[in-house]
Structure 1
């Protein structure tokens, strides 16, 4: 299997109460498998298509619409891949304290 490019995270805020990370994905780029230690909100900065890969080998495709947020709870374990043909970006806001 070819190794995928890595998505690029840039921490924009980290003040002990919230952590906001901007994620930039080239087509085919991935975050790498990770487990969320906090509840979080994702705000898409672009439209795009994500492939969410779960540890059990299953996956689901999700459409992102610029400016339309979604939320998830701590404990989510997955790998996130830009499965579209264009660059993709979102802001991930974790509730840390």
Structure 2
């Protein structure tokens, strides 16, 4: 498994901001989000999401767009595209 590169940008009393860079096929590994969070796509992100119970789905998050999720989301995120992908995750403390 090729690991996505995580670069922490901010970690203060209110937020944690991390940039994630994925080579094609790179993944985060299974994780559970302990805080509400927002993702902002830097590049077009072709994501494969593995979810509990064996569900797998693919989504495309276009560059410059964002989405928000609540605490408790559990998944493994893989770059399912053939180009590098990057996004910024903002966790709300």
Indicate whether 1:63 and 2:87 are aligned. Answer: no
Alignment of 1:11-90 (within 5 A): 11-90=8-87
Shift of 1:55: 1.9
> How many pairs were matched up?
93
Query: How far apart are the structure 2 equivalents of 1:22 and 1:48?
Result: 13
Gaps of at least 5 residues in structure 2 are none
Give the structure-1-normalised TM-score. 0.94
Gaps of at least 5 residues in structure 1 are none
Higher strand proportion: 2
User: Would you identify which runs of 4 or more consecutive aligned residues in structure 1 move more than 3 Å?
Assistant: none
1:14-64 Cα offsets, whole Å, 9 max, x none, are: 002100000000000000000000000000000120000012111111101
Query: How far apart are the structure 2 equivalents of 1:11 and 1:83?
Result: 23
Shift of 1:11: 0.4
Q: CA RMSD in A?
A: 0.6
Query: How far apart are the structure 2 equivalents of 1:31 and 1:38?
Result: 17
